[in-house]
Structure 1
């Protein structure tokens, strides 16, 4: 409230406060002082840290809400948790619950005692803080900037959150497969409907959170989930503007699942710019540098992971003196072929690419195969209609690799004469190993009479919805975008039902929950049984 008054009466004062927050953000997130010099801190025993290694975000996280390291809680350090008025153990009813928060401690911090804690490692009462808390070298200006930033982290009202409803979006690009689109929407729409039916039968109710010292006075609303389907149209360079208009019209807390084709980059960029969590969209080509960003989480790198798996096998075998690739224009195979070509060319391997005409499924395959006949290794980035058009396998090349994700996995219509020489990149657990976790989703589909039109996409959508539900129940009433992303990361590694993936985890700085895959071949020329060429590979 004070800051608002200053902004109205003294605009220059508001600009200075904003500048301080920016300087404080650099200290907190990157360990860089306003002068550009690295932040310096010391741990117990005189251990020196500087720069990014000393940044507050490493322990207290981007949200400022902390984390639990084993049995040791790293507490929240946003302004409202450190500087709130004393409650003498009765609890501040306006303060959202965070797992690692300290309740009822007195005295509370002032700006002065907080500065002392950061510099000297003692709390507001003068007692030593945990040995995990470093002591930082900060002058008065940098300290003021850091404390200003901690206060700015407090977020009392989040877009897409009302007293009774949580709003979510799912995004579909115009190049998304229409069959997968229907399958994905069938799952997510029914999941939302079922969740609301269970939570609000026969009517909305209030219940205590059971997680705080003041549970008898602080209530958590069981909010309804509202889904908004944002379907993009036109060229990719218009998508961000379309999404901004959608968000202005229908503010949402997060994007859940979704479906893309060859290009998801504009959606990813929009979510980063708008501070909007995007949880596990169904995309074959996620942005290459997604690990540099924060708000978008993916199950895997898709065809880019397949390119890494194939590159490793070619390099290990030593057979790839000349490699030919075939993909159809406008498909996900284009960025995959570029990634594979770059990986192989860096090792001196000649790579030739043959592009099939845009949209003419099944046409031009035979001609491309003739052009590729002189290669030692052939790599196919093709959809099932093009795979079915391969015809009878030629005498050469002797070794063939194919995208499992694009080609239909074990259901690929690969002609029998190709099966003995073709190896599939397979970025999922093997079919026999994922029976139990996938059957859970399939049983849910069957009970609700949802047609299974693409098992992998629908299983991933179901998994994304389940992760969202578990995370929100753990967050209690603290609906903050950064905290939502962090809680998903924390919970993921402990999940037993992981669908198509053997294991999911997201360490700090990671945005792809499944890191590896197999290279497999068919057991024989007739059935779809797969045999792994080696153990699970993480390239």
Structure 2
């Protein structure tokens, strides 16, 4: 593997690292809801009475009573009312036009009944019987609901099917992104925006997806102003009328992005970031394309730990000071213990202000024989010099994005003791996919020179487009999340295959280990893609 390639990977990651160091509503676009309909919507989606009235449900053969949020209608019937499979049960479509269709209903189990009206629907919700008096399945809760809550719920159910998720039009689908438009990283923002727009233009030239043209809505901000970035993100989600976020530049905004995505139920595909709090489980709306710092550190531990004696070495997790860094160290520490690492310690550092000599003394005092770096802000070269002067140095286990540019200039004492991990390598790039990607640059004014950021952004757009095709014309955010969770072994073409499920939110979960040969002054890939369990 050429040193130039790894230098390029490190340069792209350095932009994210530098940025880190520097600093709604889920349904609308239908008719405006009345106050009563809004109260019904809250009951339907959240299981909470807008009036403060009691709302509970009895469920199962034993008719166990549960609070409203545990048995809310949208949990099983979906935000759109059309039902979604849950534990082998498929709840019925409860949109008003479906419930009241003139010829009634015939179910797969042979149960038949006439159409519902307001009175029979209330009996179904309260007593658990259909319009013919037949008992409903025990999985359907029998609700205790006040008169005014019932009126509100009914009012909302009558307009439920007329509601659309933000950004969904009859012939357009609006996708949002957040990118630096001024400051140090303005060119990178322009490069990512350009490649995303070029790919969407290509899709639109072919007729769009299910009759809709894809529109990119970019919220720009000054990269040196973290408050402006947060404000732009909030405004995009709350007022931008976008269906999903595609490859937002999230370095330093991970917590804010996750919170907004969760509150607004807006899917986020391929955020550009070194890491999140724990992207595998922290937020069900955020789908990471590639592994971040924590996953890459785990890859290094899995590789080195193949030797039992390595897992017995005293190892230190060197993490940024603060709640986010501590949370990352906690999560990684637990996973390493599960791998069999038995002598783990933790040392916090203050990014950008840590004294290398003092840090080296601390690591030596802890007896560190392996050091995992978990965040930017440490002068790795200075730390390596101090450790080399203090005697036999430890293994330096560096997620590739955190490796210094001059890693080949580190002290000779570290020869054979430096391992890097990267989420992707050029061998992942399939010839046909590379040809299609390169064609976007021909005859265009696209910014070049940021390929290691543009490639993941482009690949995220490829993933999103494929998933939108799978969902179909009847599109909701909820359906998109479910479709992303069903992606297994999809090949974006320029990065490793990606897979998700209900609890997995990193598509290419794993990475490649690269050894640093200081004597020969080169890099060598050690094996293939190392997948994490």
Answer whether TM exceeds 0.5 for this pair: yes
Are the counterparts in 2 of residues 176 and 260 from structure 1 also a CA contact under 8 Å? Answer: no
For the pair 1:42 / 2:60, whether they are aligned, the reply is yes
For the pair 1:265 / 2:273, whether they are aligned, the reply is no
Are the counterparts in 1 of residues 81 and 95 from structure 2 also a CA contact under 8 Å? Answer: yes
Change over 3 Å in CA distance of 1:23–1:157 after alignment to 2: closer
Map 1:306-317 → 2, pairs under 5 A = 306=296, 317=310
Are the counterparts in 1 of residues 248 and 271 from structure 2 also a CA contact under 8 Å? Answer: yes
For the pair 1:484 / 2:484, whether they are aligned, the reply is no
The alpha-carbon deviation at position 191 of structure 1 amounts to 0.5
* Other-structure match for 2:395: 399
Structure 1 gaps, min length 5? 8-13, 90-99, 201-219
Change over 3 Å in CA distance of 1:239–1:223 after alignment to 2: same
Could you tell me how far apart the structure 1 residues matched to 2:210 and 2:512 are? 48
Change over 3 Å in CA distance of 1:401–1:430 after alignment to 2: same
Change over 3 Å in CA distance of 1:292–1:404 after alignment to 2: closer
User: What number of residue pairs does the alignment pair up?
Assistant: 471
For the pair 1:299 / 2:289, whether they are aligned, the reply is yes
* Other-structure match for 1:211: none
Change over 3 Å in CA distance of 1:297–1:255 after alignment to 2: same
Query: What is the CA deviation profile of residues 308-328 of structure 1, one whole-angstrom value per residue up to 9, with x for unaligned ones?
Result: 55678789845454637377x
- 1:298 aligned counterpart, secondary structure: strand
Aligned partner (choices 151, 169, 174) of residue 167 of structure 1: 174
Could you tell me how far apart the structure 2 residues matched to 1:324 and 1:293 are? 24
Aligned partner (choices 21, 25, 35) of residue 45 of structure 2: 25
The alpha-carbon deviation at position 461 of structure 1 amounts to 1.7
Q: Which moved more, 1:146-155 or 1:107-116?
A: 146-155
* Other-structure match for 2:245: 255
Are the counterparts in 1 of residues 287 and 507 from structure 2 also a CA contact under 8 Å? Answer: no
Are the counterparts in 1 of residues 513 and 527 from structure 2 also a CA contact under 8 Å? Answer: yes
Change over 3 Å in CA distance of 1:506–1:58 after alignment to 2: farther
The alpha-carbon deviation at position 435 of structure 1 amounts to 4.7
Could you tell me how far apart the structure 1 residues matched to 2:326 and 2:396 are? 14
* Other-structure match for 1:462: 458
Change over 3 Å in CA distance of 1:455–1:59 after alignment to 2: farther
* Other-structure match for 1:445: 437
- 2:295 aligned counterpart, secondary structure: helix
Are the counterparts in 1 of residues 289 and 507 from structure 2 also a CA contact under 8 Å? Answer: yes
Are the counterparts in 1 of residues 219 and 236 from structure 2 also a CA contact under 8 Å? Answer: yes
For the pair 1:82 / 2:99, whether they are aligned, the reply is yes
Could you tell me how far apart the structure 2 residues matched to 1:297 and 1:342 are? 19
* Other-structure match for 1:205: none
Could you tell me how far apart the structure 2 residues matched to 1:241 and 1:268 are? 15
Q: Which moved more, 1:498-507 or 1:255-264?
A: 498-507
Could you tell me how far apart the structure 1 residues matched to 2:250 and 2:183 are? 7
- 1:251 aligned counterpart, secondary structure: coil
Aligned partner (choices 499, 518, 522) of residue 515 of structure 2: 522
- 1:76 aligned counterpart, secondary structure: coil
Map 1:98-497 → 2, pairs under 5 A = 107-117=114-124, 123-124=130-131, 134-141=139-146, 144=150, 150-151=157-158, 153-172=160-179, 180-199=188-207, 222-233=211-222, 235-246=225-236, 250-288=240-278, 291=281, 293-299=283-289, 302-306=292-296, 317-319=310-312, 321=314, 323=316, 325=318, 335-336=324-325, 339-340=328-329, 344=333, 349-355=344-350, 357=352, 369=360, 372-374=363-365, 375-376=367-368, 377-381=370-374, 394=388, 395-407=391-403, 415=410, 417=412, 418=414, 420-426=416-422, 428=423, 434-436=428-430, 439-449=431-441, 453=449, 455-490=451-486, 492-493=487-488, 495-497=490-492
TM-score normalised by structure 1 residue count: 0.67
Could you tell me how far apart the structure 2 residues matched to 1:314 and 1:73 are? 45
- Higher RCO by CA contacts (8 Å cutoff, separation 6 or greater): 2
TM-score normalised by structure 2 residue count: 0.68
The alpha-carbon deviation at position 420 of structure 1 amounts to 1.3
The alpha-carbon deviation at position 251 of structure 1 amounts to 2.8
The alpha-carbon deviation at position 259 of structure 1 amounts to 1.5
Are the counterparts in 2 of residues 429 and 501 from structure 1 also a CA contact under 8 Å? Answer: yes
Are the counterparts in 2 of residues 170 and 227 from structure 1 also a CA contact under 8 Å? Answer: yes
Could you tell me how far apart the structure 1 residues matched to 2:408 and 2:434 are? 23
Are the counterparts in 1 of residues 434 and 493 from structure 2 also a CA contact under 8 Å? Answer: no
Change over 3 Å in CA distance of 1:420–1:136 after alignment to 2: same
Structure 2 gaps, min length 5? 1-30
- 2:161 aligned counterpart, secondary structure: coil
The alpha-carbon deviation at position 227 of structure 1 amounts to 1.5
For the pair 1:536 / 2:528, whether they are aligned, the reply is no
Could you tell me how far apart the structure 2 residues matched to 1:186 and 1:141 are? 54
- 2:523 aligned counterpart, secondary structure: coil
The alpha-carbon deviation at position 460 of structure 1 amounts to 2.5
Query: What is the CA deviation profile of residues 447-477 of structure 1, one whole-angstrom value per residue up to 9, with x for unaligned ones?
Result: 2237774555333322321233233334444
Could you tell me how far apart the structure 2 residues matched to 1:401 and 1:232 are? 34
The alpha-carbon deviation at position 230 of structure 1 amounts to 0.9
Change over 3 Å in CA distance of 1:404–1:147 after alignment to 2: farther
Are the counterparts in 1 of residues 490 and 497 from structure 2 also a CA contact under 8 Å? Answer: no
Aligned-CA RMSD value: 5.1
Aligned partner (choices 64, 67, 72) of residue 81 of structure 2: 64
